[in-house]
Amino acid sequence: MSGAPVFLSAAEVQHHLGSPSLLIPRLEAALANFSSGPDGGVMQPVRTVVPVAKHRGFLGVMPAYSAAEDALTTKLVTFYEGHSTTAAVPSHQATVLLFDPSNGSLLAVMDGTVISAKRTAAVSAIATKFLKPPSSEVLCILGAGVQAYSHYEVFTEQFSFKEVRIWNRTKENAEKFADRVQGEVQVCSSVQEAVTGADVIITVTMATEPILFGKWVKPGAHINAVGASRPDWRELDDVLMTQAVLYVDSQEAALKESGDVMLSGVWQWKTWLQPSWCTIPGCLVNKMKELRLVVDATVSGMLPPVVS
């Protein structure tokens, strides 16, 4: 190895990345490469997850190589159940390792928490651009943690919503969210109140049982389901999963990690739509419901640090 690797703190990563909107053009290209299979030059296996059952935690290992950028990276992420948003240690922590692909030398060790937050929000925004109803006025966010803040930032930059609503299991945290962000946000007392009439819904909770029910969601709404990234976690009920037009980044990853897909049983019969990104047919947008499951084990897990 020639020289010691560079270490980038969360503040330094934040400075270099800036707004998550800046990631969108390169992420669109990376997602298209991933969707192209071997011809796209992206090698990214489904992440390996090691349970830490004694402490209700998990360690995820997520390697990736992109030929287009000639970049080799691995993200290490830990996530623990039961942490409040005010806890001294966050529920999700991540580190990204960047290697020299020509010889395997470690080039950089970067805080991955900021990268993960911005990446997930940017990928959700890309999906929303293609799948949301044409005239979307109401945005709803379920959850008030780190991902809620990053999604709010990029969605209010990329889209013009007339109304933004938030719900969180602990209402106090939703109220803090509304106070801290720029712009007016309506704090709702229930999920039903928050999602009724919403055009775009973002679920960024760590729920283990469904919190969003199909009977509450209006026809044509677009849902970015982000939080249920374990095979035994749920955010969406069976009715919603049955009625939805289902998009996933990776069928392999969804069948291994998405509780919403696996436990609802839709994988046994539903037509899967794994789009070649940025070429989604416009005719799909007007179907009864639009649902994209953002599973953090798929392309959105590692490509942002590769392309950033």
Q: What is the pLDDT of residues 131-156, one digit of tens each?
A: 888 889 999 999 999 899 999 999 99
Report the pLDDT value the prediction gives residue 281, as an integer from 0 to 100: 38
151 Cβ partners below 8 Å, 6+ apart? 120, 121, 124, 125, 141, 202, 204, 224, 226
CB count, 10 Å around CB of 26? 17
Mean pLDDT by 10 residues, the chain (308 residues): 84 86 83 78 87 92 91 92 68 92 95 89 88 90 93 95 96 96 96 96 89 90 83 84 78 73 69 49 34 33 49
Closest CA to 175 of 165, 114, 226, 18: 165
pLDDT at 277: 45
For the entire predicted model, the pTM comes to 0.82
Q: How far apart are CA 96 and CA 110, in angstroms?
A: 5
Tally Cβ neighbours within 10 Å of residue 156.
16
Task: Give the separation between CA 5 and CA 226, rounded to whole angstroms.
Answer: 32
How far is it, in rounded angstroms, from Cα 137 to Cα 54? 45
Residue 107 φ then ψ, to 5°: -95, -35
C-alpha distances in Å from residue 30, one per residue of 4, 33, 60, 79, 94: 29, 5, 21, 25, 21
- Nearest in space to 78 (alpha carbons), one of 66, 67, 65, 89: 89
Write down the pLDDT at residue 271. Answer: 56
